[in-house]
Structure 1
Amino acid sequence: MAGYRDLLRTPGVGRIIAAQLTARFPNGMTSLAILLHVEQVTGSYGAAGLVLAATSVGQAIAGPVTSRWMGVWGMRRVLTTTLVVCAIGLTAMALVRMSLPAYMALGLVTGLSTPPVQSAVRTIYPKMVNSRQLTPLFSLDASLQEIIWILAPVLITFVSTQIGTVQGLLTIVVILVGGGAWFILSPEVGRVRIPRSRRSLGKVLGKPAVLLATITGFLLIGACAAVEAGVVATFGHDGLEAGIVLALFSVGSLAGGLGFGHIPIGRWAMARRMLIVTVGLSLTALMLDIVWLGGTVGWLSGTLIVAGVGVAPVLAVLFAITTASVKFSETAEAFGWIGTGQLIGAAAGSAVAGFLIDDVGPQGAYVAAAVFAFAGLIVSVVFVRGFPDLRHGDASPIPDTEPVATITRPIARP
């Protein structure tokens, strides 16, 4: 922990971490709030699912696009514009009754205008600390973001069910505007300028490390989404046990991220960390056949804590290898693609788990989660040479260089 204390003493680091976590807090609330609100208005979970799907499509498209725009128009301008549009969209969804197609269109706009805070802050980090501190900073960031997934769903569920879904959406708007303004007004956001990328959109995926980070992130988050569906199906929507078990899953991730943060990242780091997730989720898949160790709750809690220990460390590897493999002008777009991969993974994991739950019961979701994690492990092993070795290198982005124009003139002969 001494290393993290030294890191947080670096000027601005603690403030920017707190600001970006607050700005991103709505990410753990928006989907659930939209689902609850549209279902209450229309009386149909199917309709709510369509609106949520439209929102997710918008977020997936926006990831690399708005992140790339920050190199063209500047971080503050892009963040402010998307923040305003997103806040207006959520407010309209809360206060205006409309048809299902209108809700879907508004959900799409809201998703497209999700502020690219994650891409922005992970582009800023390399400019705030030295190369030795960068990997621990990514680990700390990956760990602390678990706070969002522990607290945000609980808060929005309480507000939406006990007060009202309109108030739930408006609560998100307040946090979005307050946290977003705090982050946008942070001095570091104004000081760091992302150079305009000279490559076309999507070319950054040609970097093996970025492509591997996107694929592995897709599989990891797909596994986590399947776990969430399985836990809810096991205990029911109203079961207190579901919230406890999922919170412990996140606590395991938080502990793992802090514990692994000081370990240098080699080529096999991803495989080792995915192995932890795979083992934990494979044990989870055996849950329904286990009657000891506290029954269902005790067994699930224990195995998911084990699996969670690997989650934040895997994300830390994703962030570090991405930063170290691209030019500074490409970092924001690269993180945008990784975010899109994770969004698609969440949708795929939830969908596969849902079909299996309907077919064979909750255990099918845990099997799906283990398969997603195992696929991530296989990718990490088979393509191990595509992961950079950062044990003795610099995790900072590659500097942007360009030819310097010079004026020459012939030398007169005597």
Structure 2
Amino acid sequence: MTIEPYRKILGLPGVRALLLVGLVARIPVIATGIVLTLHVVNTLGLGFAQAGLVGTASTLGSAIGSPITGRMIDRYGLRPVLITTTAAQALFWLAAPRLGYAVLLGAAAIAGVLGLPVFTIVRQSLAAMVPADQRRPGFALDSMAVELSYMVAPAGAVAAVSQFGSRPVMIAVGVGVVLAGVALIALNAPTQAPVEDGESEAAVPRRQWLRPRVIALFALTASLTFVLTASDLSLIAALKGSGQQNWAGVVIAIWCLYSLIGGFVYGALHRNVSAALLAGGLAVLTVPVGLAAGAPWWAVCLILIPSGVLVAPSLSATIDTLSSWVPAGSRGEAMGLHGTALTIGVAAGAPFAGAIIDSVGPGRAFAAAGLVALLLLAVALPFWRSGADLAPAGAPAPAPPHEPLTEPAPGLAT
């Protein structure tokens, strides 16, 4: 293992600025769900069920809008999409603190559809700016940046609402989202590499790249956020059940740290590792985490190590794989669909874990989430390993359909 791959990536023109802007821009975007939830509960005086509906409306809107905005980026370019979504977010956050619940519910859904596509843009631009044989450490850096954003945004949002109330914080989040959009407009990162221009001129129809293998990859991606969301809720419930809920923030932060470390190691490896293998490992290693239910918080931290270090590698591997399977001219839409898959996993994981926790306790919720993720992976794997996808126009022939679990990455030799 060596840090040389990261030096090469960060030395490429524009990559450092893209990763930095992406890290900062994600913080207000990630904070939006928590701020809306606390606003509904604390300021509007409603219950968590009503707050959850607002979050669900925003999530569904995002799931619908993500591939649409990605397709618009492919068709019309980055800046028109960013100007439209940034303006939509400015209008929403300007009005949201003054809206009643029913109107806020509908507005949140519309704002979700027209959400700022930070995740899609950063990943699509990385795929365009980084040579194919160096994308793995590039996407690993992006996954580590996401972990840092998630370590800052939720805790910061809760602390700010507790100190200042929800309405001023909603305005601050809105300003942050708008500034993030302005920064991305000013950066105007490329979404296709110059060598891919010929490919974009001969666009590949969706039916030719959205093949069973790609759909299986999206299913695998959804299984990752399913198991992570279920584990997150089960972890909080387990700590609460043992009277250690005050340590929940610390344990989750340490869990994120494990993921960050795992992402760093994964990106610096000399060989690629299959996304299917990493996702299967994460699912298997989630099952025994339930044994920590009732244990001291520090013991919970220890048992989270094996699964925690696979989080960022698993997610970055799905993005790396997708970028190599999809034509450059369709990569925005594909990254948007990847975001939709992530969202579907989140939306399914929370109620599933909640039902298991309420019926048989948080310990078994970990096992159930891991086993469901394994089942979904088992269903997807035959499609993953069968049939080669269409190669992008002007690209080399696709790799053989039976993807090895590890393969050399010659561009990463030290």
- TM-score above 0.5, yes or no: yes
CA offset at residue 168 of structure 1?
2.2
Residue type at the aligned position of 2:336: G
CA offset at residue 197 of structure 1?
8.4
Specify the SS of the correspondent of 2:407.
Answer: coil
CA offset at residue 88 of structure 1?
1.6
**For 2:137 and 2:74, how far apart are their aligned partners in 1?**
26
Q: Is the 8 A contact 1:281 1:303 kept in 2?
A: no
**For 2:12 and 2:223, how far apart are their aligned partners in 1?**
34
Match of 2:90 in 1: 87
Match of 2:125 in 1: 124
**For 2:192 and 2:349, how far apart are their aligned partners in 1?**
39
**Could you list the per-position Cα deviations for residues 280-329 of structure 1 after superposition, in whole angstroms to 9, with x for gaps in the alignment?**
3122111237xxxxx33123211222211111111121111111111111
Residue type at the aligned position of 1:125: L
Match of 2:48 in 1: 45
**Could you list the per-position Cα deviations for residues 145-185 of structure 1 after superposition, in whole angstroms to 9, with x for gaps in the alignment?**
11111111000010112211112222211221222211221
Match of 2:369 in 1: 369
**For 2:201 and 2:103, how far apart are their aligned partners in 1?**
36
1:207-286 pair list within 5 angstroms:
207-236=211-240, 239-263=245-269, 269-286=274-291
**For 1:245 and 1:151, how far apart are their aligned partners in 2?**
14
Moved over 6 A (4+): 190-194
The worse-fitting range, judged by mean Cα deviation, of 297-306 and 202-211 is: 202-211
1:2-401 pair list within 5 angstroms:
2-40=4-42, 41-94=44-97, 96-98=98-100, 100-189=101-190, 195=200, 198=203, 203=207, 206-236=210-240, 239-263=245-269, 269-288=274-293, 295-375=295-375, 377-379=377-379, 382-383=382-383, 385-386=385-386, 388=403, 391=407
Change (3 A) 1:91 1:309: same
Give the alignment's TM-score, normalised by structure 1. 0.85
Change (3 A) 1:393 1:209: farther
Q: Is the 8 A contact 1:123 1:332 kept in 2?
A: yes
**Could you list the per-position Cα deviations for residues 238-280 of structure 1 after superposition, in whole angstroms to 9, with x for gaps in the alignment?**
93311111111111111111101133666x6224322431343
Q: Is the 8 A contact 1:270 1:380 kept in 2?
A: no
Change (3 A) 1:107 1:3: same
**For 2:150 and 2:127, how far apart are their aligned partners in 1?**
25
**For 1:142 and 1:109, how far apart are their aligned partners in 2?**
27
**For 2:383 and 2:74, how far apart are their aligned partners in 1?**
31
Specify the SS of the correspondent of 2:130.
Answer: coil
The worse-fitting range, judged by mean Cα deviation, of 32-41 and 184-193 is: 184-193
**Could you list the per-position Cα deviations for residues 48-68 of structure 1 after superposition, in whole angstroms to 9, with x for gaps in the alignment?**
111111111100100111110
Task: List alignment gaps of at least 5 residues for structure 1.
Answer: 290-294, 396-414
**For 1:76 and 1:39, how far apart are their aligned partners in 2?**
36
Give the alignment's TM-score, normalised by structure 2. 0.85
- Matched-pair identity in %: 27
Question: Whose radius of gyration is greater, 1 or 2?
Answer: 1
Specify the SS of the correspondent of 1:391.
Answer: strand
Change (3 A) 1:209 1:323: farther
Q: How many residues align?
A: 386
CA offset at residue 351 of structure 1?
0.7
CA offset at residue 376 of structure 1?
5.2
